[in-house]
């Protein structure tokens, strides 16, 4: 693939101040895209994320901090992005999770998890997809998680949102299947479904397992993953970014409506 195939394109990656989202933003920037980095971050964290995306090769990078629980804030963000011509690549990556039993989950938890993990994607897609269709090229890539394919106890709001995100993506894929052409790249809507990914969020769990294995970090990771992920190998945010980058390439014009596991065999069981 041509390394700078996204020059002249604009990408919005929600939840990209750190972790998986930042890995995706860096990957898209490496191909020459203008990147809208988004998240709830301190000024120093925001500047660090922008610096990382620019260092990867992004033509330009800007930071957005809109609260995705508020549809009007999402509309304001999409209005601002229209100054760049509107997003050609939209990655709905922002998400929150709370582990709680169905009986103990309260309305506030349900509403917050659904708002950020599912409704926000609806609001961004509704605004972005018509412009993509008009230009003949567009990519929506939604981060759905393995929990969009299989359930786990004590995660009712999160699992419901991720299953819903895959359903939303399939509907959009059907509605925009004829937009564009092979030459222009078409408009595709897909989900990626990562299993365990090495982020700051799970680092304490890795360290704890490593301590149980004499300080051996790889053994700690294997132990942590052993119950769910047969490969016992963890993915990095940059590896997830490369998956997204491949889906963004014009050669992927006929890959649409899929939910792609990146899970070391978790959902093959």
Catalytic residue at 176? no
| SS (HEC) of the chain | CCCCCCCCCEEEECCCCCHHHHHHHHHHHHCCCEEEEECCCCHHHHHHHHHHHHHHCCCEEEEECCCCCCHHHHHHHHHHHHHHCCCCEEEECCCCCCCECCCCCCHHHHHHHHHHHHHHHHHHHHHHHHHHHHHCEEEEEEECCHHHCCCCCCEHHHHHHHHHHHHHHHHHHHHCCCCCCCCCCEEEEEEEEECCECCCCCHHHHHHHHHHCCCCHHHHHHHHHCCCCCCCCCECHHHHHHHHHHHHCHHHCCCCCCEEEECCCHHHC
Q: Cα separation of 97 and 7, whole Å? A: 35
Rounded CA separation 63/36 (Å):
6
**β-pairing, 89-92 with 259-262?**
unpaired
Q: Give the pair of three-digit tokens for residue 246.
A: 């491949």
Say which of 63, 64, 137, 158 is annotated catalytic: 158
Pull the structure tokens for residue 230.
Answer: 């047969």
d(CA 65, CA 217) in angstroms, rounded, equals 34
φ, ψ of residue 261 to 5 degrees: the values are -75, 135
Give the residue numbers annotated as catalytic, written as ranges. Answer: 158
């Amino acid at each position: 693939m041509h390394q700078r195939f996204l020059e002249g394109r604009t990408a919005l990656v929600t939840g990209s101040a750190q972790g998986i989202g930042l890995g995706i933003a860096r990957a898209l920037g490496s191909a020459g895209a203008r990147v809208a980095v988004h998240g709830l971050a301190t000024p120093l964290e925001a500047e660090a994320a922008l610096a990382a995306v620019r260092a990867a090769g992004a033509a330009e990078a800007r930071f957005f901090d809109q609260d995705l629980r508020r549809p009007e804030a999402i509309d304001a963000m999409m209005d601002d992005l229209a100054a760049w011509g509107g997003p050609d690549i939209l990655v709905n990556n922002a998400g929150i999770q709370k582990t709680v039993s169905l009986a103990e989950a309260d309305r506030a938890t349900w509403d917050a998890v659904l708002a950020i993990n599912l409704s926000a994607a609806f609001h961004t897609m509704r605004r972005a997809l018509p412009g993509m269709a008009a230009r003949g090229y567009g990519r929506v890539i939604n981060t759905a998680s393995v929990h969009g394919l299989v359930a786990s106890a004590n995660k009712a709001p999160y699992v419901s949102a991720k299953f819903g995100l895959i359903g939303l993506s399939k509907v959009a894929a059907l509605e925009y299947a004829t937009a564009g052409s092979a030459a222009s790249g078409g408009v595709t809507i897909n989900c990626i479904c990562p299993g365990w990914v090495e982020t700051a969020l799970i680092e304490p769990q890795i360290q704890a397992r490593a301590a149980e294995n004499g300080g051996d970090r790889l053994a700690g990771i294997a132990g942590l993953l052993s119950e769910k992920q047969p490969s016992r190998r963890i993915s990095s945010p940059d590896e997830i970014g490369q998956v997204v980058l491949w889906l963004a390439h014009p050669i992927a014009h006929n890959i649409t409506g899929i939910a792609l596991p990146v899970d070391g065999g978790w959902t093959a069981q």
